[in-house]
């Protein structure tokens, strides 16, 4: 190979090492005994699973993991269902107030979630939603971004296809599920993946709305654990981090083609 | 279009047609396409309407309302309207001004950093033909992982006796305070934010690059353009939509990330040392949920809103104008 062709590879490899190193260091620390953690070796001298056993027995990581899965799965299903449906209706029907509705939904994109924590908190404490699963997940049940995305894709479905189904006597619900949805499947899976990731990693709102430690999600639990229980016990903090990071990395590697395609698809719209 | 559906009446044994002068509401629902359509629309939009109005629109207006009131969560009773007094307090509060400045720094460093690094990685990947997939996966991994976990990993790496300092000492440099220093902490935190979002930008720019026709580069070659000229006069203008999109997305994510990362990475967990890393969202959180001053926190939220809006308009104007061709 010519040196000019080799250069990009060298730069990319250095970059890749910088990308992977923090994770390698994290896993490495999690496998070390407490007295070895300030040792610079990347491969632990005497690797041990003691940290994992301690964390799984003494803290609530399993419960937090489970909470995160529940929250992320329910919100993702809801986001997919409602955003697709509303996007479809805005794209394919004419009715009174449609423009206003669409502007209303788009305007929510201008208001970041961080702005709504105060009214949401007051609302939740008024209605007794604090410290419940519902309290954690209600703000994420639908998204303006998803509606916008799905509307863009639904608009590409030919009107004739839907009308043909109507002439055949299909009712509107089956037309939506059996004709429209299969046409936009790639966009739906992209939306689903984004929704799952953002809810899995959400921190600010779950931090505010939960009080009891059994209702924390993984990020909130990890944050409390690292600054409280395990303060400065870096072998335990890194074990907790590994538990919350590795499953998602594995899922990502498994689904990476879809995820990357999804970003391209949504980014280009 | 009135009678598209075959009436179920025909299936019944007696085929006597029913009276049609005053069809009942239920009959219309089932057999008239127009009614069926409205029924479908109303049913489907009911819950979304409640959601968008009740959980997004009204709370936004409520924030504005609270921002003009004296509203402490602990005291019951009167919540008097106090005009602009909360805003006056805010702009006299040095910590708030610092948080505003810091948020601006996070956004500027973050957006510029992730754009340049994202484009660089994308261009490099565009040049090579082997292992593209592998590199793409590796650069993308940080993006899917939890910000909280990343923050703690970076804290651990940049500790006073952590890995990075050990490395610096071994290479003959002096030990750095990093997160303990009011001058350095904000840059370490920004670096972590950028590091995490390179992969996302890379994917966007790769897609943008693959949309540029090879022909344009060939034409530039014939005109004798240098690689640098080709980059500035072909690649950048054609990537402009991607640049605008990702800088706006980047700004919004940095506002969010500047809370999670600051709370988990700063030494005291609340924007230290000496408030050197505090962001507006951290300020809002502390005012609302540690001092229970909802009025002041809401006023800060309103300022943040105007700040974001100003920046978005600025980005759209500047970025789209510059490369108009």
Residue B258: the pLDDT is: 84
A to B CB pairs, distance under 8 Å: 231
Residue B188: the pLDDT is: 93
Phi/psi-derived region of residue B217, left when phi > 0, alpha when psi is between -120 and 50, beta in every other case: alpha
Residue B324: the pLDDT is: 47
Which of B8, B146, B295 to mutate to probe the A interface, most A CBs <10 Å?
Answer: B146
> Does B198 contact A38 at a Cβ distance shorter than 8 Å?
no
Write out pLDDT tens, residues A137-177.
999 999 988 999 899 899 999 999 998 988 888 888 899 99
Kindly state whether A228 is in contact with chain B, defined as any CB-CB distance less than 8 angstroms. Answer: no
Q: How far is A235 from chain B (nearest CA, A)?
A: 10
**Bridge partners of residue B293, in order along the sequence:** B72
Write out pLDDT tens, residues B214-264.
888 888 888 888 888 888 888 888 888 888 878 888 888 888 778 999 999
Partner residue opposite A40 with nearest CB, options B166, B242, B305: B166
Which residues from chain B sit within 8 angstroms of residue A222, using beta carbons?
A: 146, 148-149, 152
Residue B16: the pLDDT is: 54
> Does A20 contact B141 at a Cβ distance shorter than 8 Å?
yes
Contact status, residue A200 vs residue A218, Cβ threshold 8 Å: yes
Which of A3, A119, A247 to mutate to probe the B interface, most B CBs <10 Å?
Answer: A119
| Burial (Cβ within 10 Å: 0-12, 13-18, ≥19) of residue A176 | buried
CA-nearest residue to A42 within chain B is B163
The rounded percent of chain B whose pLDDT value lies above 70 is 89
- Tell me the pLDDT of chain A averaged across its residues: 88
Write out pLDDT tens, residues A221-261.
999 998 887 777 888 999 999 998 988 888 888 888 877 87
> Does A116 contact B56 at a Cβ distance shorter than 8 Å?
yes
Which residues from chain B sit within 8 angstroms of residue A244, using beta carbons?
A: 146, 148-149
Beta strand ranges found along chain A (DSSP E): none
| Higher-pLDDT residue of A35, B288 | B288
Q: Does position B321 have pLDDT exceeding 70, yes or no?
A: no
Write out pLDDT tens, residues B52-69.
999 999 999 999 888 888
Distance between CA atoms of residues A121 and A85, nearest Å:
28
Distance between CA atoms of residues A214 and A131, nearest Å:
9
Quickly list DSSP for A51-112.
HHHHHHHHS-HHHHHHHHHHHHHHHHHHHHHHHHHHHHHHHH---TTHHHHHHHHHHHHHS-
The confidence band for A114, taking pLDDT boundaries of 50, 70 and 90, is: confident
Residue B191 tokens, joined: 């670096």
Q: What is the mean pLDDT of residues A109-128?
A: 88
Distance between CA atoms of residues B53 and B180, nearest Å:
45
Residue B82 tokens, joined: 């106090």
Distance between CA atoms of residues A218 and A206, nearest Å:
10
The confidence band for B13, taking pLDDT boundaries of 50, 70 and 90, is: low
Which residues from chain A sit within 8 angstroms of residue B5, using beta carbons?
A: 169
């Amino acid at each position: 190979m010519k040196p000019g062709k080799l250069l990009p590879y060298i730069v990319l490899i250095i970059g890749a090492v910088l990308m992977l190193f923090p994770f390698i260091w994290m896993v490495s620390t999690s496998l070390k005994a407490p007295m070895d953690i300030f040792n610079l070796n990347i491969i632990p001298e005497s690797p041990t699973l003691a940290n994992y056993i301690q964390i799984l027995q003494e803290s609530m990581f399993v419960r937090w993991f489970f909470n995160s899965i529940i929250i992320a799965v329910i919100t993702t299903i809801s986001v997919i269902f409602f955003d697709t449906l509303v996007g479809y209706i805005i794209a394919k029907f004419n009715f009174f107030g449609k423009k206003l509705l669409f502007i209303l939904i788009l305007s929510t994109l201008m208001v970041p979630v961080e702005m709504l924590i105060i009214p949401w908190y007051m609302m939740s404490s008024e209605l007794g939603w604090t410290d419940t699963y519902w309290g954690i997940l209600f703000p994420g049940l639908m998204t303006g971004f998803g509606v916008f995305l799905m509307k863009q894709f639904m608009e590409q479905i030919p009107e004739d296809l839907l009308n043909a189904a109507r002439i055949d006597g299909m009712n509107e619900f089956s037309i939506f599920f059996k004709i429209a949805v299969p046409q936009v499947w790639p966009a739906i899976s992209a939306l689903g993946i984004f929704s799952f990731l953002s809810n899995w990693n959400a921190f600010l709102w779950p931090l505010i709305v939960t009080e009891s430690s059994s209702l924390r999600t993984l990020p909130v639990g990890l944050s409390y654990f690292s600054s409280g229980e395990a303060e400065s016990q870096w072998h335990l903090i890194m074990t907790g981090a590994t538990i919350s990071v590795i499953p998602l990395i594995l899922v990502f590697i498994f689904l990476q083609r879809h995820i990357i395609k999804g970003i391209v698809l949504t980014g280009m719209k | 279009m009135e009678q598209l559906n075959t009436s179920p009446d025909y299936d019944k044994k007696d085929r006597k047609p029913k009276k049609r002068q005053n069809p009942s509401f239920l009959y219309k629902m089932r057999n008239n396409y127009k009614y069926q359509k409205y029924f479908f629309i109303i049913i489907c939009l009911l819950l979304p309407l409640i959601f968008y109005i009740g959980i997004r629109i009204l709370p936004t207006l409520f924030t504005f309302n609270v921002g003009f009131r004296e509203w402490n969560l602990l005291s019951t009773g009167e919540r008097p309207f106090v005009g602009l007094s909360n805003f006056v307090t805010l702009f006299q509060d040095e910590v708030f001004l610092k948080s505003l400045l810091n948020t601006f720094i996070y956004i500027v460093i973050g957006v510029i950093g992730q754009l340049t690094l994202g484009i660089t990685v994308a261009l490099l990947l565009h040049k090579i033909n082997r292992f593209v997939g592998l590199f793409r996966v590796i650069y993308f991994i940080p993006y899917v992982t939890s910000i909280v976990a990343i923050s703690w990993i970076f804290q651990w790496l940049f500790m006073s006796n952590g890995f990075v300092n050990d490395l610096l000492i071994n290479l003959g440099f002096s030990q750095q305070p990093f997160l303990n220093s009011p001058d350095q902490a904000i840059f370490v935190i920004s670096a972590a934010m950028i590091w995490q979002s390179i992969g996302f930008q890379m994917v966007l720019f790769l897609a943008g690059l693959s949309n540029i026709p090879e022909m344009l580069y060939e034409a530039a070659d014939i005109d004798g353009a240098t690689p640098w000229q080709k980059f500035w006069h072909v690649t950048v203008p054609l990537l402009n939509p991607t640049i605008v999109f990702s800088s706006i997305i980047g700004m919004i994510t940095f506002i969010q990330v500047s809370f999670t990362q600051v709370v988990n990475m700063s030494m005291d967990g609340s924007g230290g040392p000496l408030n050197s890393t505090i962001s507006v969202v951290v300020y809002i959180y502390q005012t609302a949920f540690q001092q229970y001053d909802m009025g002041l926190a809401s006023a800060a939220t309103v300022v943040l809103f105007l700040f974001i809006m100003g920046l978005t308009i600025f980005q759209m104007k500047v970025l789209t104008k510059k490369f108009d061709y």
